[in-house]
Structure 1
């Protein structure tokens, strides 16, 4: 792989396309006839998706003179199939085959700034922007062709990269482009195609990112080997608060292949010509370095009490109706979630080169622009001299070690100008230093009336901020360890429609009186940030577990009870489809076997998802085996149904792993989960015999994010199946074998 030079700019890359647009406005008063009262104007239409932030068409689409079509997205391919789905969307409106679209993903030099690839918003925001931009570009090309062909635009059609007249005369897209033609703002009134004319959206297409991954090709940043590259390994402190007090570098510098030792405060790294030389030098340095540690971590067994005792402020997530309501039954329950890690199968990596006073970093970060800002601050360079290029990593979904590996590589590269530096974390470094999903405590209280309807709902959650991504240099491990010592960003309580720790804390069910509060903690004893779904996983697990408790108190079937308290027709649809495909019933099951059901609309404004499953609980071993899973999902118009199925299946399996196995352990000084034996995850032997995912398509409807919709409902369904199978409820995540045996033996 050749390392590109840093002389590219957004304008030079996009040069070659554009158009002249002239517009004018007639004042409302001037257009009214004498004696008439002018009608109030309609509010202006809003730009769709990410066009609202980056309206220029040439930020999204470029067409070269040879007809090559390039589409730009600020979102990253993380394994969701983005590189395929976005091609389908652009191809649909540009009337070409998806294979004709050249897609460039997140790169601070040439793509729009779309922040983070997170929250299941890629198709919803970037896909929508690309679609409307592509539709407008097609219309511009058709107008241009009208002049060349001498045929009215409404008699022309776009097809296979050409505009064709009724008599068969045609002109290619490349022949129509001119300087600055697309350097105009998007028109919010652009019309897009109707579903009955689709040739790409909703159709099956092979994912473009798969071949390299299954053939051993260069698929990930971990695979990069640019010419002249050297290998670096970092040496981490043994615990968060450890300080380096002694290091004799003499022996390390004489080891074979060692090029440099980088020491900056408590940041340590070694660089060598070959990878295993760097590994051996790292191990030797780890053995020699002496650190001073402090016992500052709380008792892991008392984390719920620790959460309650360290609340900084309480935020109101929602407050609707009366504080109390009369009813016949009131129930309460408390739930907890342990710290959980991303557990990326491939430890984080990055490649960086410092050349001609500019720094380029290849990284699997989920936010190239925010990472660039933090890295630039850390190394003391202007942002326009730092370029971050997203390169897919073998393990992601959430804020894992990607940004930190990028910072490591950047800092080391500045000490070795001209040499590409590859940093590869080790397994224990990923486990011990990645930001974990925060521990949580939740409490639910609800009242039922005589009809078994929920009339009052109180829900409280204890959690800190689930998003500590860059940010500033203080959000990076290297920035914190450097002698300059950038402090972490201050955590703030932020309640928004996107949600954070409070994501999905408001149930979608119809309850006239609701109170939801977030008891916010500014600090946590271990490093935490965004794990897939943020607070939604624990909140939906809690709410859906509690819904089954309420159904039992009302003497109702769990599915019927949910429908009784749900008016949203699309929510009802996925619940009904799931129940039907699963053949939900109340027939008796063998001893130790149970059914579980759960539902949520992710963030209450993304995909609707319901799930039913069957589980067998072995009281003697504590093993929970999920045998059969059925899910239905509605994410609006389905661009790539197979990708939706894949994402939902993956979310179900990931949530199974969280729910049944995963918890970070620590003592009063260090994290004690450095590997897979100390942090077990779902194995192939525990995968269900069958997983069915049914896509409830809504052609013509807005795209709804789907990638994280399954996590919360899966945890809730497992909890409810366990209760159905054993007659006892587990309120604490995860459902480990030890916890199951203790609960059933109580």
Structure 2
């Protein structure tokens, strides 16, 4: 990674197109002369091709045979680069190693918005596969014209097209002197499932070697010539406003280049990193803040959230719920604020170049929205700002990466010509990253005489689950500078992808249901997207209730779910997880419990069921998950090992959230500022075994994988505790203290 050199692909180079089949970036759309009305009439294209309709937005083949594939999606640790290369290699009839993949970069790739919602394969994977298949057919057609041979007699293989008589031509030779700029077609000649050799194969992740050998793998590793180091001095709390600061002593410290103040935005720039850290601490001691108490009482958080309701939306409704006397279950469930807890604090690098253009390297999940927000914050034209994605240390949601990018950009404007590296401190990450919102849900359900659910109401209270950048008000620097941009007030929005309401509507067959989202626009704590959004808490509530209803119906929890499922693919994962776990077989040891849960992510993405065995220590309240067995159907499996990897990681992260994690705060400040005050799952508590079984669906659409496990894993833990103790815990996290209280030992 580094400053663009003359050898790299640029937008201008692509437009020149000399000696290449350029088959890469969204600006080419400006060349199309279609009127808005004509564009509206165009047929829908597969995946993200519908947003960037030209083949040259996705694939480049140079005259020397080099193949470059472009995606607007970012590698966040989910391993997405490998399957994206696999789908392209499959359709182009080349090996994965023949392809160079360029990920999210506003100067080089399509605009695919945010990398979120387990949609990379659904959107970008689909687009790349279809584009590659169409390029293959164009190459074959070109060779057919050259050889005067019907295309159906030609074969694409190893970057060449060969004829029956032995003649062959390389991809590079076919594209020499051509510039191909064609709109993709709605239908692609995809290889049939029985002809696939790369899709469905366990190809090693290409991002791993650098991470385990000490190469430059993360934005934290990036070192550019002449780079300086910066630290930002954050306010001590959300409502704090800087009164005064005497930075004279800090400015005189060794190596200090500049102390920057812009309103309540404070930063220090130094030649060396440790010099910046020491100056930052000195400025922290010298700064005086007005600090009002603006946070709610954490001890009564559920009541606070319910009282903050300002709007109500109907998520789902069918029949007329009418509860009879008799078998009714009702409960209130709560989720605390939870953090991403990225193991490495956020980091970014920015460089203001001589011509006035600003380059930013960031672990943002959306390079194009981040560019828009930063340009607005600085008052720059968007086309002078370039945001280049470079991996950070994990996020799975909107953590501090965008804010670090804005910090670096604001500081770089004061230090032209030198790359500025901003690294957050641990306590800054814990205090200032956007958290997963606290939530409250109330369930009421009843059974009919046949042991089937006949009525269901579900009310949830939640903030929005996305305050991602798109304008300067979403950035900390944009809100604290002298001329701040206020954050846009969030509004209630119910759509198929969901937010706080994600997975709030059970997939089960229930004749009478009503699901309401009681929307909370006022956010006591800073919140945004955390892996799974509202699905985590909603599935916890729904699947806990399913177990209670199964108990009331005197039914096995697995059988009870199956009697309410009408989707065969849903039933298949439930049956497979139960079979591989050995559900219903063998005695459960004293103090152990078994739990089961299922969900289809967003009700239209991946299916996942998981069974768990947990041990509950009555004396200490400690819950140890011993083993987990999951079954997942995420459509056609491109890289099965990647699917297993993501599902295993999702299960472990969910166990950590469920048993340990909660943001703490007093009336003024966030108090969970380190790993002691924000505990997480440690190696000693990792399950002895985690199995993931994949149901492959060749020829079916990609459904995504990354977030499917969060909700079911949480509910399976809760149901295992219920099975072990006979007590239903409804408040997350299911901590030792709460377990002891539930069993009467607290």
SS in 1 for 2:260: strand
Counterpart position of 1:462: 461
Counterpart position of 2:553: 554
Deviation at 1:13, TM superposition (A): 3.1
Bigger CA drift: 429-438 or 288-297?
Answer: 288-297
Counterpart position of 1:4: 4
Task: Say if 1:295 and 1:668, in contact at 8 Å, map to a contact too.
Answer: yes
In structure 2, what is the Cα distance between the partners aligned to 1:323 and 1:624? 37
In structure 2, what is the Cα distance between the partners aligned to 1:303 and 1:132? 49
What are the within-5 Å matches in structure 2 for residues 50-449 of structure 1?
A: 50-177=48-175, 181-324=179-322, 329-355=327-353, 356-449=355-448
Deviation at 1:195, TM superposition (A): 1.0
Question: Cα gap change, 1:529/1:282 in structure 2, threshold over 3 Å: closer, same or farther?
Answer: same
Task: Say if 2:21 and 2:61, in contact at 8 Å, map to a contact too.
Answer: no
Q: Which runs of 5 or more residues in structure 2 are unaligned?
A: 24-40
* 2:676 is the alignment partner of 1:669: no
In structure 1, what is the Cα distance between the partners aligned to 2:731 and 2:648? 24
Deviation at 1:208, TM superposition (A): 0.8
Deviations 1:263-303 (A, max 9, x none): 10000000000111111111111111111100111100111
Q: Which runs of 5 or more residues in structure 1 are unaligned?
A: 21-42
SS in 2 for 1:523: coil
In structure 2, what is the Cα distance between the partners aligned to 1:441 and 1:11? 52
SS in 2 for 1:431: helix
Task: Say if 1:18 and 1:184, in contact at 8 Å, map to a contact too.
Answer: no
TM-align CA RMSD = 1.5
Deviations 1:644-667 (A, max 9, x none): 000000000000000000000000
In structure 2, what is the Cα distance between the partners aligned to 1:70 and 1:18? 10
Deviation at 1:395, TM superposition (A): 2.0
Deviation at 1:262, TM superposition (A): 1.0
Counterpart position of 1:572: 571
Task: Say if 2:328 and 2:444, in contact at 8 Å, map to a contact too.
Answer: yes
Deviations 1:455-497 (A, max 9, x none): 1211110001000000210100000110101101110101000
Counterpart position of 1:40: none
Counterpart position of 2:29: none
Deviation at 1:588, TM superposition (A): 3.6
Counterpart position of 2:591: 592
Deviations 1:375-434 (A, max 9, x none): 000011000000000000012110000000000000000001000000000100000000
Counterpart position of 1:513: 512
Question: Cα gap change, 1:674/1:659 in structure 2, threshold over 3 Å: closer, same or farther?
Answer: same
In structure 2, what is the Cα distance between the partners aligned to 1:624 and 1:15? 62
Deviation at 1:520, TM superposition (A): 0.1
SS in 2 for 1:67: coil
Counterpart position of 1:690: 689
SS in 2 for 1:88: helix
Deviations 1:109-147 (A, max 9, x none): 110000000000001110000000000000000000001
Deviation at 1:327, TM superposition (A): 8.0
TM-score in terms of structure 1 length: 0.95
Question: Cα gap change, 1:54/1:180 in structure 2, threshold over 3 Å: closer, same or farther?
Answer: farther
SS in 2 for 1:428: helix
Question: Cα gap change, 1:646/1:14 in structure 2, threshold over 3 Å: closer, same or farther?
Answer: farther
Deviation at 1:689, TM superposition (A): 0.3
* 2:613 is the alignment partner of 1:614: yes
Task: Say if 1:328 and 1:449, in contact at 8 Å, map to a contact too.
Answer: no
In structure 2, what is the Cα distance between the partners aligned to 1:44 and 1:404? 38
Bigger CA drift: 379-388 or 199-208?
Answer: 199-208
Question: Cα gap change, 1:174/1:251 in structure 2, threshold over 3 Å: closer, same or farther?
Answer: same
Bigger CA drift: 187-196 or 651-660?
Answer: 187-196
Deviation at 1:5, TM superposition (A): 6.2
In structure 2, what is the Cα distance between the partners aligned to 1:73 and 1:600? 29
Deviations 1:539-569 (A, max 9, x none): 0011000000000010100000000111100
Counterpart position of 1:492: 491
In structure 2, what is the Cα distance between the partners aligned to 1:12 and 1:57? 16
Deviation at 1:524, TM superposition (A): 1.3
In structure 1, what is the Cα distance between the partners aligned to 2:379 and 2:665? 35
Counterpart position of 1:38: none
Deviation at 1:182, TM superposition (A): 3.1
In structure 1, what is the Cα distance between the partners aligned to 2:228 and 2:189? 52
Deviation at 1:742, TM superposition (A): 1.6
Question: Cα gap change, 1:201/1:586 in structure 2, threshold over 3 Å: closer, same or farther?
Answer: closer
Question: Cα gap change, 1:242/1:555 in structure 2, threshold over 3 Å: closer, same or farther?
Answer: same
